Structure 1
């Protein structure tokens, strides 16, 4: 499936009436945020991008819990808070919902950064754990009108992930160790949820599709 096909599928959701929510899922480095961003750019005022990463626990809390070195694992997010936000986004009585974002340069979430007005018909959200079948993540699937799973070529995914870690301050050795350690464990967990997606994009590389 080509990028233009995915844009048309998103456009049909935006035109279906009421508020629709599209979820994009995949392992770390799969290109989820890249695809979500280009979809929202193509749809303009008809869509907003709301990343799950805005629900990362703050670093100070991860240190308190002893989970700082596992940042990115399911229990390092406020999963229940993310579920609550999705419910608000689906509530037609809400005027404007403010969602958090995540600043990679700070490695911290920022509250109230993304306004989603009532009249926006499509919310595009993305994250690793939208299709897990364990609480609280298991409550998400029925809140998504369409769920796509990105399954890019593994060498490209790992290379992109390592380069991203380096870009945000890790040494080449640290970046590779994190990508093949904590990130890989999370990727294997995410892969178990692939079967709950409406669309699985085998071999689709969002970064390559956007740049060509």
Structure 2
């Protein structure tokens, strides 16, 4: 697995993978790794031909998580609608029309339906999310739909600090933010780190 140290190197890899059909790129990493920022920078660098699809839009509604007894670990692999995510990816790979996808509002922690419109002329689809390379719970259907994958590596302490800052920014107290970052987030991070070996490339910036 090659290790990429800059966005320029990521852009070069993606450009080299281009073909006649739509290219699906996966940016994977644990919470707080910086994958959302990297994915957004990649799309910006690629220009009008690229579009970003975050996995966060496929969070199950909070009311449904409460029903399932999973609200206290929102963000775990079984708290997403993986069936809907796979359906969207399948449509994007094999359909020639406009595809609508959900976004996610971090302030209310809910998915917002149909706010991302992906037109056929968008020839590079950049996915970002935690479980794109996970191999159980239905997620094993995702990796075969991805053409080139990148795992974002980052120092543990930096990642946890980012998570605490993010949780505080979106309304948690410092104590609650730290508890979530070192509890549910950390459990998810261990699972996600176990999928790193299946990525085509590692991104390690700074």
TM-score between the two structures when normalised by the length of structure 2: 0.94
Structure 1 equivalent of residue 37 of structure 2: 34
> What are the ranges of 5 or more consecutive residues in structure 2 without an aligned counterpart?
none
- Which of 195, 198, 207 is the matching residue for 2:197? 195
Shift of 1:132: 0.9
Match of residue 26, structure 2, among 23, 26, 29: 23
Runs of 4+ displaced beyond 6 Å: none
* Partner Cα separation in structure 2 for residue 141 and residue 74 of structure 1: 15
Is contact 1:10-1:39 (8 Å) kept? no
Answering whether residue 95 of structure 2 is matched by residue 87 of structure 1, we say no
Instruction: Determine the C-alpha separation between the residues in 1 that align with 2:113 and 2:147.
Output: 25
Structure 1 residue 80 displacement after superposition:
1.4
In angstroms, what is the RMSD of aligned CA positions? 1.2
Matched, 1:10 2:31: no
Are the counterparts in 1 of residues 78 and 137 from structure 2 also a CA contact under 8 Å?
no
- State the SS of the aligned residue for 1:86: helix
Identify the match of residue 74 of structure 2 among 71, 76, 83. Answer: 71
- Correspondence for 2:177 among 163, 175, 178: 175
> 1:152 aligns to what SS in structure 2?
coil
- Aligned-pair CA distance for 1:66: 1.3
- Structure 1 unaligned regions, length at least 5: none
Encode CA deviations 1:147-180: one digit per residue, 9 max, x unaligned: 1001111111111011000000000000000000
Aligned residue-pair number: 202
